[in-house]
Structure 1
Amino acid sequence: MPTRDSAGDNAALTNASDIFSLIATGAAVSRSALLERSGLSRVTVTQRLNALIAADLVEEAAKTLPSGGRPTRVLAVNRRVGHVLVANIGEAHLHLALMSPEPAVIAQSTLRYEVAEGPAATLDRIADGFRRLLSDTDGGDGMLLGIGLSLPAPVDYKRGRVVGPSIMRGWDDVDIIGPMVGHFGVPVYVDNDVNLMTLYEYRRHFHLADDMLFIKVGTGIGAGFIADGKIFRGAHGASGDIGHIQFDSDDPPLCRCGKLGCVEARAAGWAIARDLRAHGFKADNARDVIALVEEQVPEAIMMLRKAGRVIGEVMADVVSILNPGLIVVGGTLARGGDFLLSGIRELVYQRCLPLATRELNIVLAPPQADIALFGAGQLVVDNVFSPAGAANLLNRMVSTAVRPDRPERARRRMGRAG
Structure 2
Amino acid sequence: MTRSLDLGSPAFSTAGGLLQLLRDGHPRTRAELAALTGLSRPTVAQRIDQLLELGLIAPVEAAVSTGGRPSSQIAFNPRARVVLAADLGALHARIALTDLDGRLLAEFSESRDIAEGPDAAIAWILGAGRRLLQQTGVTAAQVAGIGVGVPGPVEFSSGRPINPPIMPGWDRYDIPGALGAEIDAPVFVDNDVNIMALGEQTSSWPGISDLIFIKVASGIGAGVISGGRLQRGAHGAAGDIGHVALARAADTPCPCGNRGCLEAVASGRALAHALSTADAALTRPSEVVALAKTGDVTAIQAIRQAGRDLGEVLTVCVSLMNPSTIVIGGTMAQAAEHLVAGVREVVYARSIPLSTEHLTIAPSRARGDAAILGAAQLAIDAALSPARITAALGG
| TM-score interval, normalised by the smaller of the two chains | 0.7 to 0.9
Letter in structure 1 aligned against 2:373: F
The 5 Å alignment of 1:138-157 reads 138-140=137-139, 143-157=142-156
The aligned counterpart of 1:277 is: 276
Q: How many Å separate the matches in 1 of 2:179 and 2:49?
A: 35
- Secondary structure at the counterpart of residue 349 of structure 1: helix
The aligned counterpart of 2:239 is: 240
Closer, same or farther in 2 for the Cα pair 1:158/1:141, shift >3 Å? closer
Q: How many Å separate the matches in 1 of 2:198 and 2:250?
A: 37
Q: How many Å separate the matches in 2 of 1:233 and 1:176?
A: 19
Alpha carbons 1:309, 1:346 under 8 Å: kept: yes
261-270 vs 47-56, which moves further: 47-56
- Secondary structure at the counterpart of residue 313 of structure 2: helix
The aligned counterpart of 2:265 is: 266
The aligned counterpart of 2:255 is: 256
Alpha carbons 2:82, 2:97 under 8 Å: kept: yes
The aligned counterpart of 2:7 is: none
1:44 aligns with 2:43: yes
> Shift in Å at residue 29 of structure 1?
4.3
> Shift in Å at residue 147 of structure 1?
0.5
**Structure 1 unpaired stretches of 5+:** 1-14, 397-418
1:84 aligns with 2:97: no
- 1:118-158 CA-to-partner distances (Å, cap 9, x unmatched) read 22332233222222222333335971101110011111211
> Shift in Å at residue 64 of structure 1?
5.8
> Shift in Å at residue 304 of structure 1?
0.7
Q: CA RMSD in A?
A: 2.8
Alpha carbons 1:28, 1:34 under 8 Å: kept: no
- 1:313-351 CA-to-partner distances (Å, cap 9, x unmatched) read 111111111121221112221222221111111111222
Q: How many Å separate the matches in 2 of 1:122 and 1:328?
A: 29
> Shift in Å at residue 298 of structure 1?
1.0
> Shift in Å at residue 54 of structure 1?
5.6
Q: Percent identity?
A: 39
Letter in structure 2 aligned against 1:297: D
1:220 aligns with 2:247: no
Q: How many Å separate the matches in 1 of 2:70 and 2:337?
A: 47
Alpha carbons 2:27, 2:60 under 8 Å: kept: no
228-237 vs 329-338, which moves further: 329-338
Q: TM-score, normalised by structure 1?
A: 0.83
1:381 aligns with 2:380: yes
Alpha carbons 1:162, 1:172 under 8 Å: kept: yes
Closer, same or farther in 2 for the Cα pair 1:250/1:390, shift >3 Å? closer
- 1:151-210 CA-to-partner distances (Å, cap 9, x unmatched) read 111112112111234211222222221111111121100011111111122122222223
113-122 vs 15-24, which moves further: 15-24
Alpha carbons 1:83, 1:142 under 8 Å: kept: no
The aligned counterpart of 2:363 is: 364
Closer, same or farther in 2 for the Cα pair 1:140/1:312, shift >3 Å? same
Give the count of matched residue pairs: 382
Q: How many Å separate the matches in 2 of 1:74 and 1:263?
A: 54
The 5 Å alignment of 1:192-211 reads 192-211=191-210
Q: How many Å separate the matches in 1 of 2:65 and 2:288?
A: 51
> Shift in Å at residue 240 of structure 1?
0.4
- 1:287-312 CA-to-partner distances (Å, cap 9, x unmatched) read 22221222211111111101100100
The aligned counterpart of 1:128 is: 127
Closer, same or farther in 2 for the Cα pair 1:250/1:392, shift >3 Å? closer
Letter in structure 2 aligned against 1:318: C
Q: How many Å separate the matches in 2 of 1:65 and 1:260?
A: 66
Closer, same or farther in 2 for the Cα pair 1:270/1:82, shift >3 Å? same
99-108 vs 273-282, which moves further: 273-282
The aligned counterpart of 2:180 is: 181
The aligned counterpart of 1:339 is: 338
126-135 vs 211-220, which moves further: 126-135
Letter in structure 1 aligned against 2:291: L
Alpha carbons 2:212, 2:327 under 8 Å: kept: yes
Q: TM-score, normalised by structure 2?
A: 0.87
Q: How many Å separate the matches in 1 of 2:108 and 2:308?
A: 37
Alpha carbons 2:64, 2:70 under 8 Å: kept: yes
Q: How many Å separate the matches in 2 of 1:319 and 1:104?
A: 32
The aligned counterpart of 1:319 is: 318
1:110 aligns with 2:109: yes
- Secondary structure at the counterpart of residue 201 of structure 1: helix
313-322 vs 279-288, which moves further: 279-288
Q: How many Å separate the matches in 2 of 1:303 and 1:350?
A: 20
- 1:17-52 CA-to-partner distances (Å, cap 9, x unmatched) read 333333235598443442134332111212332443
The aligned counterpart of 1:408 is: none
Q: How many Å separate the matches in 1 of 2:71 and 2:195?
A: 35
Q: How many Å separate the matches in 2 of 1:63 and 1:322?
A: 47
Letter in structure 2 aligned against 1:197: M
**Structure 2 unpaired stretches of 5+:** 1-13
